Each structure stands twice: as structure tokens, then as C-alpha cells.
Structure 1
Amino acid sequence: MKVCYLIGYPVGHSVSPAMHNAAFRKLGLDYRYEAASVEPGSLAGFLNGVLRGPTARGANVTIPHKISAMMEIDAVDESAAAIGAVNTIVNDGGVLRGHNTDGTGALRALKESAVNLTGSRVLLLGAGGAARAVAHAVALEAGSLTILNRSPRRAVELAETIRGKAGRRVEVAAAPLDEAHLREELGRADILINATPVGMHPDVEETPVPKRLLHGDLLVFDLVYNPLRTRLLREAEEAGAEALSGVEMLVYQGAEAFRLWTGREAPLDLMRRVARRELGG
């Protein structure tokens, strides 16, 4: 049996084990998916002591390891190198290869929901691993991208990276994540993407954006998928905005990771049903 892991801290909230194990069973694959709670100081030991082992096939990587994991593996694909973060690792005979399926997962979630990114004004909250992937993907089609982050330096660094990759195709800006900048940027944004963990279980009553700043001309995409309807999404709908749950990105990025591990196309409908069931939806 081959084992795939979810590496993060904490990981008790994740529905990925149920989602992937259902997919493995559906296709009759001798695989198992397990959540591994790995504290930041223990990441190198887990990767080298467990993930390189003969029964390990790979892993998904989540908060807080998406950036630091790059330093501990043997190779990364072109997309992950450009993004500067990995969310998927494949063990090829003891060689650990990193990939990033977050950006393609987010882009597919938006497009499958009939969102037209072309020329749109996107406001992205966060500058961590998931935000980096989403920023690179969105910048390929959006008209403008503004990144707000509690640490302005990280937002500026990400904006400079995107600007260097995208050239003149997209206008990129960065600023601190505070109410003044939220008010200013939301007033002209078409799409709001939350790539911070604010509102994630168990802190379900937290939100990165005060309700009074939301409006009906927005599409609000929250990458947080647990709970299924975050406070941000609930209040966006109450303000008349369109809301898109992070469970869609979860399914699409998970399906691409599944393909990398197994060489098989994932049963998307099953994965979505299981994820929603686990989340009470």
C-alpha cells in the first residue's frame, strides 16, 4: 500500500483524508491518505524520515509549510519555482519533487463558476503560500491585482515578483491590510479573494473584512473551506455579492495532486460530494 499525507499544523480541520480516500476506493487503488500534524520545527525530520520512505507516495502541504517545504525537497517544477511555494510533493523512488496545484485549482474554481477574469480588478488578501499561487494564476488574466497583507513588506515582495513575471500585462499594487485600504480598494474591485486563514475553524466568527465594506458588485471568493460558508461569505451574500466557497478550489487542486500521485484522473463529483458532506453541506 502507498500512503499520501497531508502535512500541516494544525490539520484536524481538514476534509482531505475523507475526500482522497473515497477517490482511492472508487478507483480500486491500494492507496491511503493520512493527516500528519507536523510542527514547524519538525518539518525536515518528517520529510526526510517519513516521506522519503518506500511506502510513501507523496503529500499535500498546507499552512504553515508551503514555503519552507521548498527548502527541504530535491526538485520543484517550473510553476512551483515561479510561485515560491509547494502544496504537493511526489516521492519518486526517494526523490522528493514539489509541485503547486493551488493556482490552477483556484483558477478552475473561478472559471467553472462562470467568472470572467479578463480585465477584472482583483483584490487579494494575504501573501502566504496560497496567496502566492493565486496571485500568479490571476495575474495571467486580470486587468489589475492589489495585494493587502498584515505585513506590508511581504505584500510588496509578492507584488514585485508578480510584476516581474507578468510584465505590463497587469497592474500590480500592494498595501497594508487595514480598514482604510480595504475601504479604498473594495470600492473599485470586481473580485475579492481571501487567501488568509481568518475565519477558518475553529475561529468561525472571525472575518477579514467588515460587513459594511462589502457591496453587491463584488464576487467574493474565500479560500477557507471549513466552515463551508464562512462569515465572510455569509455577509457577502447579505450585501448582495456573489459568493464562492473554497471547497471548489480544494477539490480542483486535490484532483491535480491525485493525478500526480496515481497517474489517474480523479473522480471530481465524488470528491466534491464527500468534501461537502464532511463539512455538513
Structure 2
Amino acid sequence: LKSSRTLSKGGCYDTCLKVLKRALELDVEFVEMDYEVACEVNMAEYLHNRSNTRIIVSNYVNDGRPSVEKLVDIIACMQATGADVIKLDLCVDYITDLAPIFTVLTHCQVPLIAVAVGNSGLISQLLGPKFGGFLVYGSLGGKPVPGLPSLVSLRQVYKLEYTNAATKVFGLVSNPVAHSKGPILYNPTFRHMGYNGIYVPMLVDDIEEFFETYSGSDFAGFSVGIPHKEAAIRCCDEVHPIAKSIGAVNTIVRRPMDGKLIGYNTDCEAAISAIEDALTAGGAGRALAFGAKYEGARIVIFNRDYKRAKALADEVSGEALLYEALEMFRPETGAILANASAIGMEPNSHQSPEALRAYDLVFDVVYTPRNTQLLKEAAEVGVTTVSGVEMFVRQALGQFRLFSGGSGNNNNLP
């Protein structure tokens, strides 16, 4: 596939025509040319002399969030060039800007490729085959390209050859989202279970706008991450009692019978069971605090925002202190330090609390990197540690059961 673009007529323009002619002589499978060039040449001449080569005509659309009508008009003009395949290169600012693109992909009568560049455009490729996209583009190693999945992830994680119009869409609604290991866990599990689903990262800025935009049954379930776990409750039609008492959801499922969004929290049980297993052998912070409350623990909440700490402490009959007091805090015997902040998450993996010797166990909800600086320091002074991976796997198992209608068990996760 050769991309032949031009900024103006002249040498570059002539080069494009030479590349096109040579591609036809070599009978390559596809040759891509810019819409500007296709409008200027006698395409009939080239189309008549080819053998098997299919011509992709591409056009860069820099129009913010183009409407469906605007995209249809652009495609009609491009189709008039005689192109076999139409390709739209778009720049999007928000994930909701992709909705018109998916609509056009679904209803377009000619082979269509849509590539949305930018961090918010990633699902344009991952969900392209579901909505009828002709081809998917990926990056070839090296430095990541915003909006393009790596070729390795397309082949090993997403395996889009199994995706079709009936595939149900699941994903992590978060910001940031690049750290997520969800696709690596869920997609092989879906395939192993024979469930027609795909799990993708969804970089979301405005969660309410997101759910208003993607309200169809195709979008069946969501993991909810930073910073949306508390705000997500407002997007739910119904909330499970545990999630309601916590005041945060980490899982939303669209109920098939009526399309209503049902909110759950699988963090609570996951966090406590991860700690209990170790002892016997935001949103996450709220779940951890409520879980500890149910177990009868004394709870002290540290937060840079004292009002937030105090509000949560009051709800769980605990105490509130400023984050800066953590280093000088002297816990009781048998105390557990649990970090439920983003401290330690890549790329800020070297910021960690100190004074760890006084604790019997240190738990970090962060799972990327697996062995955070906090856990390294705790292990160095002989303290038992629990990685966020333990909580992640447990809450993911709970989510999978909800996503798949209760079919998950401990043996389903690959």
C-alpha cells in the first residue's frame, strides 16, 4: 500500500502520478492516492489499464466533528473520482466525535475506511470492522502513533478477524486510559468463552456526554476508571445497593431487555479479599474504605483535599487527616496501609509515601507498574505487600460475570 500525497502541483504532483502508474504496472493489491490528485487526473485512463489493483482515494477532513450529512457529501464527491475504496482521515478531539463516523460506516454503500488520528480516535480502528470498515490501520512498532493500535496488539490482543456486526462492545471509560490491562484480560476471555464481544480502551473526558452519545445496545458494558467512578452514578438508571452506599461505581451494564444502565461496584469485595488472602497466606478508595468498615476496622483517611477526606471518613465512621500527615502518622499494631490514589501509576511511578516499617501490610491499588515504588520500599523493610494486580483480577472477574450474564468463574480468566 503506497500513500501518494501532494501539497501542490509540480514535482511532487508528477511523482504521485509516476507512483500510481508504476503500482498499476506491478499489479499491487492496493494503491492509495490523495483526493486532490484524483480530481486532477483522468482516472478513467488509469482504471482502464489496470489488472487487479484497487485504488484507494483518501481525503483529510479537518472539520472538528463533521455531521453525518457532511461526511456523506464528502464521500459522494470522492466516489465520483472512480475510486474503488474511500478513505477518510479525520482529526478528533473527543471520543464522542466518532459517533457520526460509525453511523456512516454502517450505512455506506461503497467500501470505506475511516482513520481518526489523536488519542481519542483509537476505537475508530478497533471498532471499524464491527461497523463495516473496509480496512484497519496499525502502527509498526517504535514510537506509538496517537489513534493507531500497534500491529502486535491487533494480531495478538484484539484479533479483529473475529469481530462482526453482532459483536458487543465493552470497554474502560477512563482518563487516562493507556495504562489499562483490560484488553489483554477480557478479549482472550471472551474468545475462550465463545462470547462475541470486544473490550477496548475509551478515553473519555465528559462521561455524561459519552453515555448520551453511545446509547445503543451495541455498547453493552463498561468498566469505569479514574476520574469517573463517582460521577458515573449520575449516568445510571439503577444502582446496586453496595455501589449506592459506597457512592461510586466501577462497572456499568446495559440491561438487554430495556437498555437501562445498571451500576455496580466490584472494587469493594476485590480489595478486601486481596488483603485477606495476603494476610492468610477516588472511587477505589471509597470502595476500600467501605469494605474495611464492614470488616470492623479502624479507618483513617488521608487526602490532599481535607474536605474530601472528612466527607468519606464521616460516611465510614473513620478519621480524616491531610495527606502531608501520613509520614509522621504512627499506626497501631497490625495496621494496613492502603494506597488508593494514582501515586505510583505510570508515568508518575516514583512518587510514593514513606514511613512503612510501622505497618504489617502495604496494599497499592495501582497495577501499572505491577511493583510500584511504594511496594518496593515496603518489601525492602520486610513488610508484606499486596499488588494492585490482585485487586484488578478480582474486580475484573466480578465485571466479567456481569458482562457475560453470570457465566464467569475462576477458571475463565486466561
- Give the TM-score of the pair, scaled to structure 2: 0.57
Work out whether 1:266 is the aligned partner of 2:408: yes
Aligned-residue offset at 1:270:
6.3
Q: Among 147, 166, 174, which residue is 2:320 paired with?
A: 174
**Structure 1 position 196 matched with structure 2 position 328:** no
Residue 254 (structure 2) pairs with residue 97 (structure 1)? no
Larger radius of gyration: 2
Partner of residue 223, structure 2: 60
Aligned to 1:22, which of 188, 212, 219? 188
2:256 counterpart of 1:256: no
The count of aligned residue pairs is: 246
Offset at residue 244 of structure 1 (A): 0.6
- Contact 1:255/1:265 (8 A) holds in 2: no
> 1:246: Cα distance to partner?
0.4
Contact 2:193–2:412 under 8 Å retained in 1? no
Contact 1:22 1:270 (8 Å CA) reproduced? no
Instruction: Say which of 271, 286, 300 aligns to 1:146.
Output: 300
Is contact 1:186–1:214 with CA below 8 Å preserved after alignment?
A: no
- Are the equivalent residues in 1 in contact too, given 2:331–2:359 (CA < 8 A)? no
**Equivalent-residue separation in structure 2 for 1:195 and 1:100 (angstroms):** 15
Displacement, 1:111?
A: 2.2
Matched residue, 1:75: 238
Q: 1:134 aligns with which of 288, 294, 297?
A: 288
Aligned to 2:374: 232
1:131-150 CA deviation, whole Å, 9 max, x = no partner? 11111011111431111111
Report which stretch shifted further, 187-196 or 97-106: 187-196
Q: CA deviation at 1:3?
A: 1.0
1:114 aligns with 2:279: yes
Cα distance in 2, alignment partners of residues 247 and 44 from structure 1: 29
Q: Secondary structure at the match of 1:135?
A: helix
Aligned position for 2:351: 206
Q: Which amino acid aligns with 2:234?
A: M
Task: Read off the aligned partner of 1:261 and give its amino acid letter.
Answer: F
Deviations 1:235-258 (A, max 9, x none): 000011011100010011011011
Tell me the residue number matched to 1:11. 177
Q: CA deviation at 1:268?
A: 3.8
Contact persistence 1:216–1:239 (CA under 8 A) = no
Distance change (3 Å), C-alpha of 1:182 and 1:139: farther
Q: CA separation in 2, counterparts of 1:104 and 1:182?
A: 28
Mark the runs of 5 or more structure 2 residues left unpaired by the alignment: 1-166
Q: Which amino acid aligns with 1:90?
A: V
Specify the SS of the correspondent of 1:113: helix
In 2, Cα distance between the equivalents of 1:54 and 1:106? 31
Give the match's secondary structure for 1:144: coil
SS at match of 1:147: strand
1:242 to 380, 384, 388: 384
* % identity of equivalent residues: 37
Moved more, 223-232 or 72-81: 72-81
CA distance in 1, matches of 2:315, 2:202: 31
1:258-278 deviation per Cα after TM superposition (whole angstroms, max 9, x unaligned): 10111244354664x6xxxxx
Root-mean-square deviation (CA), in Å?
1.8
